[in-house]
Amino acid sequence: MNLSIIIPCYNEINTLETVIKRVRQYAPNCELIIVDDGSSDGSKECLTRLQSTYRLILFFHSQNQGKGASLQTGFKHASKDIILIQDADLEYHPKDYAALIYPIQHGDADVIFGSRFLEKSIWPSRHIFKWANYLLTWLSNKFTGLALTDMETCYKVFKRDIIQSIQLKEKGFGIEPEITAKLAKRNLNIKEVPISYVPRDSNSGKKIGFKDGLWAIWCIIYYGMSSNSNT
């Protein structure tokens, strides 16, 4: 499998080893890059312990910078033809890898977004993150002209030459709307495939909050209105 998987990690000691085992189960031969973003809960030590067993390529930020910064580090060092993003929690399951990469492998897409909404979701109907995502995706579509159902999804898959040619600026969660807007400006073949999803809340370690949502709105508008795909 000519695949690089990038896992941004910040204080995920409770789920990290399980995620790594799952990734290796479903993508045993992938290039597995993990970027620790200044964790203080033992994640760094856990990664060092697991490095040899699971053939991990590790990068450590000396201080916490954000998910976007971790992804930029991972994108820079990925060497395989296809790049997939995997979160370090247990919300997204690697069993979906085959469906995610199939369209790119067979020349049917340049970019894949894994959507939590194309099939019946297990999210509670009143789950605040679900409705926030609906709003952000709707707004993003207004600026990009895309028809996505899940802009904020973790599972984004790219041809390596595409994502490495885009100049990314956002250090935090604003990376999601920035990537989406800049991809949209390139007239690429962007598709969605359904994925499974098990949500967690802030009590279980979810880190995105209200301020991140406001910043995402700003990023949607700013990058959506920029005329250059690298602006």
76 and 51 Cβ atoms separated by less than 8 Å: no
Contacts of 70 (CB under 8 A, 6+ apart): 8, 9, 10, 35, 36, 37, 61
Q: Report pLDDT for 212.
A: 73
Q: Report pLDDT for 227.
A: 65
Closest CA to 172 of 125, 123, 122, 214: 214
Contacts of 126 (CB under 8 A, 6+ apart): none
Cα separation, 24 vs 166, in Å, equals: 28
Q: Report pLDDT for 131.
A: 77
pTM: 0.91
Q: What is the DSSP string of 137-179?
A: HHHHHHHH----S-TT-S-EEEEHHHHHTS-----STTHHHHH
Cα separation, 56 vs 51, in Å, equals: 5
Q: Report pLDDT for 206.
A: 56
Residue-level pLDDT, tens digit, the chain, 231 residues: 699 999 999 999 999 999 999 999 999 999 999 999 999 999 999 999 999 999 999 999 999 999 999 999 999 999 999 999 999 999 999 999 999 999 999 999 999 999 999 875 555 555 677 778 889 999 999 999 999 999 999 999 999 999 999 999 999 999 999 999 999 999 899 999 999 998 866 555 555 666 777 888 999 999 998 866 665
Query: What are the structure tokens assigned to 83, written together?
Result: 């790049």
Domain annotation for the chain: domains and CATH numbers: 3-225 (3.90.550.10)
Cα separation, 58 vs 42, in Å, equals: 15
Closest CA to 220 of 160, 133, 162: 133
